[in-house]
A and B are shown apart, each in its own frame.
Chain A
Amino acid sequence: KNEVEQSPQNLTAQEGEFITINCSYSVGISALHWLQQHPGGGIVSLFMLSSGKKKHGRLIATINIQEKHSSLHITASHPRDSAVYICAVLETSGSRLTFGEGTQLTVNP
């Protein structure tokens, strides 16, 4: 079992739909990181959070430390949101950063 699991692995949506990507982890963490990787390969750091919720534009990230779960929500999805979304956790034992395998999101017009 991977320490960080994302679901779904692949997601196809229609423009305008509300999207949720999930990340579950099995270790104690001090923070969780959401990344976006564009089709061209470039990586954008979306959120670093250790509790509660963060919002930036149409993106919302939440984390529940007790349940060891985080979600990334995209409201009013757009084709330009098509990318791979990667979750990474920073373990409390040190500075080890463990990555999930990513969720491939495709938003069709």
Chain B
Amino acid sequence: DAGVIQSPRHEVTEMGQEVTLRCKPISGHDYLFWYRQTMMRGLELLIYFNNNVPIDDSGMPEDRFSAKMPNASFSTLKIQPSEPRDSAVYFCASSPTFLGNEQYFGPGTRLTVT
């Protein structure tokens, strides 16, 4: 398996624009996680899915953020409208179970909002 795939790897956009980050989890993994990492706040869990269903989105910072998982092999994290404070590295991870197994992280998407 190729591991968790994220695209794009880098995104530069202007404030107010819509941004869509994409993730392909490892096949067979039932859990998918979206994280954000900034210098100020460190790593944060934004949302996670189980079998394509959002389970906990309490980490999503604002209504400008939304995440979907239309099928087992694809998820998106959308920011609309984007703001400079959204600049961060966004990681996607997947795992077979929630507690028993380690997670597999994607390479991350570095987002810069100017």
CA distance A31 to B98 in the complex (A): 10
Count: A-B pairs, CB below 8 Å? 53
User: Which of chain A's residues has its CB closest to B55's CB?
Assistant: A95
Selected interface stretch from B18-26, B60-68, B78-86, B101-109: B101-109
Known contacts A96-B58, A99-B43, A99-B44; is A48 also within 8 Å of B99 by CB?
yes
Known contacts A42-B108, A45-B93, A95-B56; is A90 also within 8 Å of B42 by CB?
no
CA distance A73 to B56 in the complex (A): 32
User: Which of chain A's residues has its CB closest to B102's CB?
Assistant: A45
User: A54 → chain B, closest Cβ, in Å?
Assistant: 10
User: Which of chain A's residues has its CB closest to B98's CB?
Assistant: A95
Choose one: B55, B56, B101, B105; the contact of A42 (CB below 8 Å): B105
- A-B contact sample (17 more), CB < 8 A, given A47-B102, A95-B55: A31-B99, A33-B103, A41-B89, A41-B107, A42-B107, A43-B105, A45-B102, A48-B102, A48-B103, A86-B42, A88-B43, A94-B56, A96-B56, A97-B45, A99-B44, A100-B42, A101-B42
* Residues of chain B whose beta carbon lies under 8 Å from any beta carbon of chain A: 42-45, 48, 55-56, 58-59, 89, 91, 93, 95, 98-105, 107-108
